[in-house]
Structure 1
Amino acid sequence: MELFNQIFNSDNYALIIGVSIAVLVLWFLPAMLALIFNRKHFKLILLACVPAGFSVIAWSGVLVWAVSGKVVKKFAPKSEISS
């Protein structure tokens, strides 16, 4: 608790804002990657990022889901894609 008091009383607002932005970018990284790789499920991935950020395992799963959109179409048999 003393560490937080020192940080907030240090008048180093650039550090606080920078760390906050870095955390948000990392938290929503799967959603940003979904815009490139898995646009079809972007809204679901964006919603899943919020609770998944509290768990490394869940966040990793959402990250894999975000980047595996076009890969599934590439390696799946043609008969499964059309159905």
Structure 2
Amino acid sequence: MEQFLTTLQNLTFIQYATFIPLFLIIYFIPTILAYFFNKQNLKIIAIANVPAGFSMLIWFALIIFSITGNASDKLLKKLKLKNNETKQA
């Protein structure tokens, strides 16, 4: 940890200008993915993303939730349609 802090202290302005946006993009990947895949839960994921970034386990769980939100809804709709078709036949 000390080596990381020392490295951060020795960065130049250009390196900071590159590091900070990249860090924020990586930190907020669950929110970015939710914007594209799970808009109905975007606010919840964005709020949960702030403290979740400190815990890798919760951060990965948020990534999975942000990607599978609409996929699970679509899968449930398909299953309901298939069940209705088999009942009608």
TM-score under structure 1 normalisation?
0.79
In structure 2, the residue matched to 1:3 is 6
Secondary structure of the residue aligned to 2:10 is: helix
Shift of 1:78: 2.3
Shift of 1:5: 7.3
Secondary structure of the residue aligned to 1:67 is: helix
Matches within 5 A, 1:38-57: 38-57=38-57
Secondary structure of the residue aligned to 1:54 is: coil
Instruction: Give distance in 2, aligned partners of 1:61 and 1:17.
Output: 29
Give 4+ residue runs of structure 1 displaced > 4 Å after superposition: none
Structure 1 unaligned regions, length at least 5: none
TM-score under structure 2 normalisation?
0.75
Determine what percentage of the aligned residue pairs are the same residue.
28
Q: Is the helix fraction higher in 1 or 2?
A: 2
Shift of 1:73: 1.5
Change (3 A) 1:70 1:3: same
| Largest Rg, 1 or 2 | 2
Matches within 5 A, 1:56-67: 56-67=56-67
